[in-house]
């Protein structure tokens, strides 16, 4: 890329951008599901413990690599050690595969936003009068021959427009608008939900630690179930913080030397965890209330993935009378902002790699990347429709891309990064970067122990467990 590398206007801008990348769809549908499945407060406590240890270590490492090289993930590793450039290549493939299908899901959100806007302002019922029809509506939409592609492309173009404006004028300014609005809406919805009659039991189910998730059928403590809960929390933490996606390396490359990496990472952790917990407050109490009313098992109602957001929650909104469409509209505006901030970060990781590799200007790199993303998004967009019978290893396109990135490539890149820093580059290089310009790095001891000994083992455990989960091996249905 010609000229001086872009930079954030300040530490707050970096924290907001990094937090925006972390706060995505995974926080809004995966965290509530896992918390409901694994003991509510028990899961939350384990998750917090992992965020401040393993999550902290991996995020500090990636941001430091980006800042010390002033490169995207594609070229950063090779800049530090020529023999490790393959890790940067794998790290670039990840956002290049995630962004297309993520934008397709963003298109789904955009469709639901327009539907709830019609319901709220025009009084129409495009989903059908009966709440149960919301499931058929979702299936009909994603299996349509063109609509999923069209909405997905609108989402891609919107993200590309922000990226084209640059780091300060595009990413930074968009986050300054979307992030505060996202937080305000999340808090407002959670307050409304908490105040609804009949949600008290759902709040207890979510927040009060329940040790039953750690007991077997005979009521005895099960180490296997504890391990399963820890791995579930670890996997959620891993993806929630946007680790091993190239985002933190890219964003770190725009970071000023005067900014404290340690302080920024702690603030990002707070933002991300806060939204995840608030997401549970928005979703679990009303879904629990809905399950009790309809006689549905709570764990079944808290279905993981798109089913929770696009099928179960519309059914819940339909039971709330006149306020349902307005609550649905507000919720999907929030979800759209969360999806957009994460997609923009993924998009930027791809564009930065194209700029660094091909030495293109930002606009040209954005056009090139957008065209590639649109092409790859086609497979996921029509994978449930005209190409529904085409499978990769028994999975539809979107599910396959999700599996190969989240369950395989991301843990591999994270583990390789820990080995690289711990035993090739040396942890002192990262620590020195964190202490640049006189900044303190109080977690030095924790960082050394985690990056050399614990983090590689834990990340490999994620790789094994997530692969088993996705393939249904050995009962690991985390």
Q: What is the pLDDT of residues 190-217, one digit of tens each?
A: 999 999 998 999 999 999 998 887 888 7
Q: Does residue 1 fall inside a structural domain? A: no
Helices within 168-312 (DSSP H only): 173-195, 200-207, 223-240, 247-253, 261-294, 298-301, 306-307
Angle (CA) 81 372 236, round 5°: 65
Q: Which two tokens stand for residue 314?
A: 């519309």
> How far is residue 323 CA from its own chain's centroid?
29
Q: Does residue 423 fall inside a structural domain? A: yes
CA separation, residue 59 to residues 16, 19, 250, 258, 309 (Å): 15, 12, 12, 18, 28
Q: Does residue 5 fall inside a structural domain? A: no
3-state SS class at 215: strand
Question: HSE of 61 in the Cβ direction (CA atoms, 13 Å)?
Answer: 34
Q: Based on the structure, what is the number of domains in the chain?
A: 1
CATH number at residue 248: 1.20.1740
Q: Does residue 477 fall inside a structural domain? A: no
For 286-302, the pLDDT digits (tens) are 999 988 888 888 778 88
Q: Which residues touch 374 (CB under 8 Å, ≥6 apart)?
A: 100, 153, 156
Distance CA 175, CA 170 (A): 9
Distance CA 181, CA 185 (A): 6
* DSSP structural state of residue 390: -
Distance CA 418, CA 285 (A): 39
Q: How confident is the model at residue 226 (pLDDT cuts 50, 70, 90)?
A: confident
Taking residues 101-109, report their average pLDDT.
96
- Its domain, for residue 37, covers 11-471
Q: Quickly count: other Cβ atoms within 10 Å of residue 177's Cβ.
A: 10
Counting other chains too, the contacts that 454-458 makes at CB distance below 8 Å and 24 or more residues apart are 454/53, 454/54, 455/54, 455/57, 455/58, 455/414, 455/418, 455/422, 456/415, 456/418, 456/419, 456/422, 458/54, 458/234
Q: Which two tokens stand for residue 181?
A: 């609005």
For 402-430, the pLDDT digits (tens) are 989 988 899 999 999 999 999 999 999 99
Helices within 72-118 (DSSP H only): 73-80, 85-117
* DSSP structural state of residue 23: S
Mean pLDDT of the chain: 90
Q: How confident is the model at residue 463 (pLDDT cuts 50, 70, 90)?
A: confident
For 432-448, the pLDDT digits (tens) are 999 999 999 999 999 99
Q: Is residue 166 left, alpha or beta, with left meaning phi > 0 and alpha meaning psi from -120 to 50?
A: left
96 pLDDT more than 70: yes
130 pLDDT more than 70: no
Rounded to a whole number of angstroms, the distance between the first and last alpha carbons of the chain is 42
Q: Which two tokens stand for residue 342?
A: 């994460």
Q: Which two tokens stand for residue 395?
A: 């999975």
Q: Which of 323, 339, 344, 376 is nearest to 110 (CA)?
A: 339
Using CA atoms of 413, 415, 421, 423 in order, give the dihedral in degrees to the nearest 10.
-130
Per-position b or e across 326-335, b if 16+ CB within 10 A of its CB: bbbbbbbbbb
Q: Does residue 476 fall inside a structural domain? A: no
Looking at residue 132, its pLDDT comes to: 57
> How far is residue 21 CA from its own chain's centroid?
7
């Amino acid at each position: 890329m010609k000229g001086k590398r872009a930079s954030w206007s300040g530490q707050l801008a970096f924290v907001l951008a990094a937090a925006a990348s972390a706060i995505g769809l995974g926080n809004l549908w995966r965290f509530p599901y896992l918390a409901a499945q694994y003991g509510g407060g028990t899961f939350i406590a384990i998750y917090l413990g992992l965020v401040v240890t393993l999550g902290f270590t991996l995020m500090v490492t990636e941001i430091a690599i980006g800042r010390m090289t002033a490169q995207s993930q594609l070229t950063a590793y090779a800049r530090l050690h020529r023999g490790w450039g393959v890790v940067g290549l794998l790290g670039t493939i990840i956002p290049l595969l995630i962004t297309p299908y993520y934008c397709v899901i963003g298109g789904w959100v955009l469709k639901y936003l327009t539907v709830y806007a019609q319901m709220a302002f025009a009084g129409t019922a495009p989903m059908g009068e009966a709440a149960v029809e919301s499931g058929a509506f979702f299936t009909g939409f994603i299996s349509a021959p063109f609509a999923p592609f069209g909405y997905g492309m609108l989402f891609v173009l919107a993200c590309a427009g922000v990226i084209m404006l640059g780091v300060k004028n595009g990413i930074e300014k968009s986050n300054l608008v979307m992030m505060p609005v996202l937080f305000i809406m999340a808090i407002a919805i959670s307050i409304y939900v908490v105040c609804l009659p009949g949600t008290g039991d759902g709040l207890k189910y979510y927040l009060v630690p329940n040790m039953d998730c750690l007991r077997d059928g005979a009521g005895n403590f099960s180490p296997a179930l504890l391990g399963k809960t820890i791995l579930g929390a670890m996997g959620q933490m891993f993806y929630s913080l946007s680790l091993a996606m190239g985002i933190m390396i890219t964003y770190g490359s725009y970071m000023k030397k005067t900014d404290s990496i340690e302080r920024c990472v702690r603030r990002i952790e707070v933002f991300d965890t806060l939204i995840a917990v608030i997401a549970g407050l928005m979703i679990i109490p009303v879904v629990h209330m809905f399950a009790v009313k309809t006689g549905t098992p709570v764990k079944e109602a808290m279905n993981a993935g798109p089913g929770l957001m696009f099928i179960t929650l519309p059914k819940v909104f339909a039971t709330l009378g006149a306020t349902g469409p307005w609550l649905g509209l507000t919720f999907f505006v929030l979800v759209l902002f969360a999806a957009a901030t994460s997609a923009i970060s993924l998009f930027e990781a791809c564009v930065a790699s194209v700029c660094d590799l091909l030495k293109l200007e930002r606009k040209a790199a954005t056009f090139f990347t957008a065209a590639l993303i649109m092409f790859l998004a086609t497979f996921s967009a029509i994978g449930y429709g005209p190409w529904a019978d085409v499978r990769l290893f028994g999975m539809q396109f979107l599910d396959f891309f999700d599996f190969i990135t989240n369950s395989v490539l991301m843990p591999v890149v994270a583990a390789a990064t820990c080995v690289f820093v711990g035993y090739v580059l040396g942890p002192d290089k990262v620590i020195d970067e964190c202490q640049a310009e006189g900044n303190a790095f109080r977690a030095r001891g924790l960082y050394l122990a985690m990056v050399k000994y614990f983090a590689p083992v834990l990340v490999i455990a994620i790789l094994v467990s997530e692969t088993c989960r996705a393939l249904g091996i050995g009962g690991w249905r985390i």
